[in-house]
Amino acid sequence: MKNTASFEELQQLATSLGASDVAVKMTEEIEIDEKLVNFCKDPRCENYGLSPGCPPHVGGPETFRQMLKERSHVLIVRIVVPSAVLFSEERRELMAFLHELVATLELTAIKKGYPKARAFAGGSCKDLFCFDEADCNVLSGGGCRNPKRSRPSMSGFGVNVAHLLKICGWESNLKPEQEGGEPRSWIAGIVLLG
Where do contacts with ligand SF4 occur on this chain (CB under 6 A)? 51-52, 125-126, 129-130, 136-138, 144-146, 150
Q: Within 10 Å of residue 66's Cβ, how many Cβ atoms?
A: 10
- The string of DSSP codes covering 44-65 is BPTTTTSSTTSTTSS-HHHHHH
Minimum gap (Å) between residue 168 Cβ and ligand SF4: 28
Residue ranges with strand state E in 27-177: 73-82, 118-120
Q: Which is nearer to ligand SF4, 21 or 100 (CB)?
A: 100
Terminal CA-to-CA distance of the chain, rounded, Å? 15
Q: In whole angstroms, what is the distance from residue 184 CA to residue 10 CA?
A: 26
Q: Which is nearer to ligand SF4, 21 or 127 (CB)?
A: 127
Minimum gap (Å) between residue 44 Cβ and ligand SF4: 18
Minimum gap (Å) between residue 53 Cβ and ligand SF4: 6
Q: Are 77 and 101 in contact (CB under 8 A)?
A: yes
Minimum gap (Å) between residue 122 Cβ and ligand SF4: 14
Q: Which is nearer to ligand SF4, 79 or 121 (CB)?
A: 121
Q: Angle, to 10 degrees, between the axis of helix 34-41 and the axis of helix 60-69? A: 140
Q: Which is nearer to ligand SF4, 105 or 125 (CB)?
A: 125
Q: Are 154 and 33 in contact (CB under 8 A)?
A: no
Q: Which is nearer to ligand SF4, 126 or 184 (CB)?
A: 126
Minimum gap (Å) between residue 138 Cβ and ligand SF4: 4
